[in-house]
Amino acid sequence: MSFYVASSPHHHLRRSTADLMRLVLIAMIPGILAQWYFFGWGVILQLALAIAVALASEALCLLARDRAPSSGLRDYTAVVTAALLAVSIPPLAPWWIIVIGTLFSIVVVKHLFGGVGQNIFNPAMAGYVLLLISFPVQMTSWLPPSSLTELPGLWDSILVFLFGFTGEGFSLEQIRRVESGTLLDAIVMATPLDHIKTELAQGFTLSEAKSAPIFSGAAGMGWQWVNAAYLLGGLFLIQQRVITWHIPGALLGSLGLFALIGALIAPDHLPNVDIHLLSGATMLAAFFIATDPVSAATSTRGKLVYAGLIGVLIYVIRTWGGYPDAVAFAVLLANLCVPVIDQYTRPTVYGHREERS
């Protein structure tokens, strides 16, 4: 009689890893569609190339480890990693950006640590941080939302993605800047969080920073709807019992609490709650990234501590750090703390009684 040892993710509903990962991909569809609507075809191009590279590198790594590629490819973990990385980078970043990030995520962060269930860091976020540190210009080249400009069509998006220029010879920088002959550099060259951070650093107040057209909505044109779409997908995951409420609730709760305190103390200099919760990658982080069953804490109390720490770190880095979004750094720092968190939050064994001195 053999004893089967399985690696994480473990689940009590007797669902396979492939079933869980498929549900995660389904839950991401509303967010992906929202990003496609507001930021163009580049999102789909990044996604397609990332998945292709992830599957190829996964198969090669499994062959190198003398394992059957089919068993690893069927669990969809590589596809989920590729999807999370693809939606996190600028839509028309050069093709080699997503290739490098995906290879690092799959080959180094996942397989060099032992494969599925063995990685201590979230692979997608580790790949994102590598790209952000190594290629800061390409990784901050976000397009303005479709509400502010006419985005390139599918063919021009393919040309910019592969070669850097549209069919008419416009570069990505020119696409980002020009709208009806008017330079919108100060308005659309950065995400809402980056725009606010830059304006506050230059001495402007929060209300002055939010007077830009990109803030016609509560948390930035386009971005608030993208976050709402990922929130919808996250609620679907909770309803399907793929994840529990503990990590999303603790992350959003701690981030919202610190944002509220900051807004009450310095309302003209610190962004309020809606900006922190509905801009950047907040909802993607809360429901899809921080909930990674391998690199997150395991116990219920541990999940609350782990996710609460991520929320605090996001707020601290956004407010005083050098990076406006901070999700990837916060998640990786919390991943480092998971062994300690699990050590001190593991549940007491039934029937165990603590020794008293």
C-beta of residue 85 within 8 angstroms of C-beta of residue 50 = yes
* pLDDT one-digit tens code per residue, 190-223: 688 888 888 888 888 888 888 877 776 677 788 9
User: Of the candidates 326, 336, 330, which has an alpha carbon nearest to the alpha carbon of residue 120?
Assistant: 336
CA atoms within 13 A on the CB side of 38: 22
> In the prediction, which pLDDT does 146 show?
79
C-beta of residue 243 within 8 angstroms of C-beta of residue 287 = yes
Average pLDDT over residues 126-138: 95
More confident residue, 167 or 87: 87
User: Of the candidates 80, 10, 130, which has an alpha carbon nearest to the alpha carbon of residue 289?
Assistant: 80
Taking the C-alpha atoms of residue 309 and residue 105, their distance in angstroms, rounded to an integer, is 23
> In the prediction, which pLDDT does 186 show?
40
Residue found by looking up tokens 């979230």 in the block = 122
pLDDT band at 351 (very low <50, low <70, confident <90, very high): low
* pLDDT one-digit tens code per residue, 145-194: 877 778 889 999 999 999 988 888 877 877 776 443 444 444 445 688 88
Whether residue 109 is predicted with pLDDT greater than 50 in this model: the reply is yes
Q: What is the residue type of 79? A: V
Whether residue 97 is predicted with pLDDT greater than 80 in this model: the reply is yes
* pLDDT one-digit tens code per residue, 40-60: 999 999 999 999 999 999 999
Q: How many helices (H) and strands (E) does the chain have?
A: 18, 2
What value does the mean pLDDT of the chain take?
87
Backbone angles phi, psi at 178, to 5 degrees: -95, 130
Taking the C-alpha atoms of residue 177 and residue 174, their distance in angstroms, rounded to an integer, is 5
Residue found by looking up tokens 């397989």 in the block = 111
> In the prediction, which pLDDT does 14 show?
64
Q: Which two tokens stand for residue 160?
A: 């910019």
> In the prediction, which pLDDT does 46 show?
97
> In the prediction, which pLDDT does 183 show?
43
